[in-house]
Amino acid sequence: MRHRGQFSRSERVARSRLAKLVHDQPFLCGSLVSLNRVCGKEGCKCSRGELHPGLCIALRVGEKRKMIYVPQALETTARRWVSTYQEAWQLMERISQSCLDRFLRGKERVRGAGRERTGQRGKRR
């Protein structure tokens, strides 16, 4: 049985997972960047060139791209929020792929109908 608007199983799974993520999970549309930094404390090893490993989130704030430093205590949170965004993005891509398949099938049908019309016109000649 065919229903208009019925999704394949894999598309349904992707859609419901995406809806769940967007509905109740925090996320940040950015990417994590490891960055070595200087802490500024006098006499610290970093002043001699031994930098502290650090983490930043690269994201857009309004029109501007920014690097936001992540304190160690928030690293796990930052990683989770960015990875939620990445998963949501992958799900969007998967759903889009299914929609593209559907679109291309629709295009085939339109083209098929076009050929029929051409055929009829041919008969009339």
Residues of the shown chain interacting with Zn ion in the complex, contacts defined by CB under 5 A = 39, 44, 46
What six digits make up the tokens of 1? 């049985």
SS3 state at 1: coil
Least separation in angstroms between residue 24's CB and Zn ion is: 39
CB nearer to Zn ion: give 44 or 113. 44
The Cα 98–Cα 92 span in angstroms is 10
DSSP string, 29-71: SEEEEEEEE----TT-GGGGT-PEEEEEEEEEETTEEEEEEE-
CB of 104 to Zn ion, least distance (A): 56
| In the complex, least distance from residue 66 CB atom to Zn ion, rounded to whole angstroms | 23
